[in-house]
Structure 1
Amino acid sequence: MLPVIETIPLRQMASGDRLYLQLYKFIGAQPGKKVYIQSNLHGAEIAGNAVIHQLIEFLLTINDTDLAGEIWLVPVCNPMGTNERAHHFSPGRYCLYEAKNWNRIFWDYEKEADNLIVFTKSQLNIDPKVVRQNYLTIIQQQFAKILGKINSPSGVPYTELFGYKLQNISLDADYLIDLHTSTNQALDYLYYFRNRDDSAKYFGFDFGILLDKYDGDAFDEAFIKPWLALEACFKELGRDIKFDVEAWTLELGSGMQMNPDSVAKGLRGVKNYLVQKGVLQVSNLSDDTKTHEMTFTSSSKRKKYYAIAGGMIQSRIELGSSVKAGDKLYEIFSFNKEGKLPSVIHVCAQQDGLVYDVATNQAVNEGEFVLGIVS
């Protein structure tokens, strides 16, 4: 089947050149869920682009009768971040002009849903599918007000315009998948949200991190938090509802790289997820998720280690290693300007856990990231 391809204007530069988003819509013969998948929100995190490219190649080989619903794909979703360079390196994690993280800029309806209890009480005896549509309508009505600000003579900062463009095409999705990598060097894993453990297994990753602690207005968070809040409100009023709305962030290894194993794992996981959710109707995909052992932990159990002195990192423990409290994690050989010989500082683990993320640069200023452990 062939996609509908849309090119969305994004930004005009001082030179007169323009940036665009490219959206690929695969629309099935039967109605169903809407799946939104994007990649490269942070400039150095490019592995998801390969996943989307290979997913497009796969979808071209199936018939529209093999797809129930729609799959919307946006590779290279942040051209500003993707094109940013510092010598040979591709940072692109922040909008430098506004000093904002590209993945902490999105509109979150939950923060302005002051009448949530009133709405929930009005929906207590209504079918969940109708409740979903009623709530989505309210979210869309509130979101539409942003366009008035964008089109006003005073305009808005670019990050607001950019956030609007991405959310405008994803707000009504049922399933949202945001493809990332570490900015540094990391394992493959996924982030998931409350009460979505069973679906997390469909991706076939070795471990997943429950987002029980939020950093800010990230893309996946802003999408699903209103629905989690509504579920919690129903529960307080005595009715258990779990909406078939899910958001995922897949972390596919290391930044500035398209590691073939990480790409293959991401592609296999996305395809299997779509099959298990009834979006893809293909039978020739192997499914080992029923027997796959997956380890779950939570974001509140992550521990990041920052350099306690400036210097050079040596003897650092390998990525993917399991550690016990008290094990040596790394050494810093630290120079000084005090007329003394260089010193070697040993840093040990404060807790048991798995080393899931390590810094690419082994020269550190005091206070810079060295590695991350999750227990």
Structure 2
Amino acid sequence: MIPIIETVFLRQMASGDRLFLQVYKFIGKQPGKKVYIQSNLHGAEIAGNAVIHQLIEFLLTLNETELIGEIWLVPVCNPMGTNERSHVFSPGRFCVYEARDWNRIFWDYEKETHDLIAFTKSQLHLHQDVVRQNYLTKIQQEFRKVSEKVNFPSSLPYTDQFSYKLQSLSLDADYLIDLHSSTNQGLNYLYYFPNQEESAKFFRLELGVLLDKYDGDAFDEAFIKPWLALTTCFKQLGRDIKFDLEAWTLELGAGMQMNPDSVAKGVQGLKNYLAQKGVLKVSGFPLQTKSPAMTFATSSKRKKYYAIAGGMIQSRVELGSTVKAGDRLYQILRFNKENKLPTVIDICAEENGFVYDIATNQAVNQGEFVLGLLQ
């Protein structure tokens, strides 16, 4: 199957050079769900690019009857972040010009709608497919209003222009998947939204973190939050309705690395998820082997540990370690400039949990991130 390849203009630089996105659209013979998959929204988080490349190679081997619906793939979705450098390091988490996190800039319709109850009442007795189309139309109409400001003489900051460009590609998707990694050294896991535990297992990762606390400005959040609000409103009015819409963020290993194990798990998980959802009709999927046991946790139970003093980190627990309250997590080797000998400070866990993220740099200033613990 040969994709439709579209090149989307993003930005012209002061030098006259231009930045673009490239979208690979695989479209099956039968209509069905639209799947939108992107990678590298944060500049250092590159493993998803390898995942998308392997998916493209896989999809090229299929015929059009083996894909129901369409899959849109957008690798290297943020060239500004990907190309950012500080010496040999790739930070790229923030737009340095505007000091904004690249994944906290997206437009959330739920924050702007003021007639949700009235809309829901008008849809109470309609089929959910009709409701979905009517609500999507409202979202798209409002989106056009805000995104058209890019063309005003006063225009908009680049982060707004960029966010609208990505959202214009994904607004009408059924399943949205954003491929990330830790900016530091992290496990392979996913973020999910309420009532998605069964679908989460299709990705065959060992850890799922429920987003039970969020602001709605991240890419996956901005996509799904209006639909969650609509579902809640229907329930309050006495009707249970479930839209077949899902949003995911997959965290695949470490930043600045294309870890083969993380890439392989990402590819396998995506294939299995798409097969379970009926998008792919291929031999070998869904996988019949037993899925790994999946641990579920909540995002509000994450605890980040920051250095209480400047120094060098030593004797740190390994990534993925389980710890109990009172266990030593790491030591800070501190070189005092106070006519004193160097000292070593033990830092112990405040609660039980396991280590899901650790800093790459083991030299820290006071107040800098050392590790993340998940209860």
Normalising by structure 1, we get a TM-score of 0.98
CA contact (8 A) 2:28 2:68 kept: yes
How is 1:219-368 mapped onto 2 (pairs within 5 angstroms)? 219-285=219-285, 287-288=287-288, 291-368=291-368
Structure 1 stretch displaced more, 285-294 or 223-232: 285-294
Secondary structure of the residue aligned to 1:20 is strand
- The amino acid across from 1:355 in the alignment is V
Task: Look up the match of 2:185.
Answer: 185
Q: Distance in 2 between matches of 1:232 and 1:107?
A: 20
Q: Deviations over 1:11-67 (max 9, x none)?
A: 000000000000000000000000000000000000000000000000000000001
Secondary structure of the residue aligned to 2:58 is helix
Q: Distance in 2 between matches of 1:26 and 1:115?
A: 37
- The amino acid across from 1:169 in the alignment is L
Give, in angstroms, the shift of residue 283 of structure 1.
2.2
CA contact (8 A) 2:27 2:64 kept: yes
Give, in angstroms, the shift of residue 292 of structure 1.
3.2
Give, in angstroms, the shift of residue 345 of structure 1.
0.8
Q: Deviations over 1:306-342 (max 9, x none)?
A: 0011111000000011111111000001122222222
How is 1:1-375 mapped onto 2 (pairs within 5 angstroms)? 1-285=1-285, 287-288=287-288, 291-375=291-375
Secondary structure of the residue aligned to 1:24 is strand
Give, in angstroms, the shift of residue 241 of structure 1.
1.2
RMSD: 1.0
Q: Distance in 1 between matches of 2:284 and 2:42?
A: 34
- The amino acid across from 1:69 in the alignment is G
Q: Distance in 2 between matches of 1:4 and 1:78?
A: 21
User: Share of identical aligned residues, percent?
Assistant: 75
Q: Distance in 2 between matches of 1:244 and 1:292?
A: 25
CA contact (8 A) 1:204 1:289 kept: no
- The amino acid across from 2:207 in the alignment is F
CA contact (8 A) 1:192 1:248 kept: yes
Which runs of no fewer than 5 residues in structure 1 stay unpaired? none
- The amino acid across from 1:148 in the alignment is E
Structure 1 stretch displaced more, 172-181 or 286-295: 286-295
Secondary structure of the residue aligned to 2:338 is coil
Normalising by structure 2, we get a TM-score of 0.98
Q: Deviations over 1:142-172 (max 9, x none)?
A: 0001232100011110000000100000000
- The amino acid across from 2:339 in the alignment is G
Q: Distance in 1 between matches of 2:285 and 2:259?
A: 22
Structure 1 stretch displaced more, 283-292 or 97-106: 283-292
- The amino acid across from 1:9 in the alignment is F
CA contact (8 A) 1:106 1:219 kept: yes
Secondary structure of the residue aligned to 1:65 is coil
Q: Distance in 2 between matches of 1:264 and 1:81?
A: 24
Structure 1 stretch displaced more, 317-326 or 278-287: 278-287
Secondary structure of the residue aligned to 1:126 is coil
Give, in angstroms, the shift of residue 105 of structure 1.
0.3
Q: Distance in 2 between matches of 1:172 and 1:285?
A: 26
Give, in angstroms, the shift of residue 290 of structure 1.
5.5
CA contact (8 A) 1:201 1:289 kept: no
Q: Distance in 2 between matches of 1:27 and 1:100?
A: 35
Query: How many residue pairs are counted as aligned between the two chains?
Result: 375
Give, in angstroms, the shift of residue 280 of structure 1.
0.5
CA contact (8 A) 2:275 2:286 kept: no
Q: Distance in 2 between matches of 1:189 and 1:164?
A: 27
Q: Distance in 2 between matches of 1:55 and 1:147?
A: 31
Q: Distance in 2 between matches of 1:129 and 1:298?
A: 31
Give, in angstroms, the shift of residue 288 of structure 1.
4.6
1:343–1:288 distance in 2 versus 1, CA, 3 Å: farther
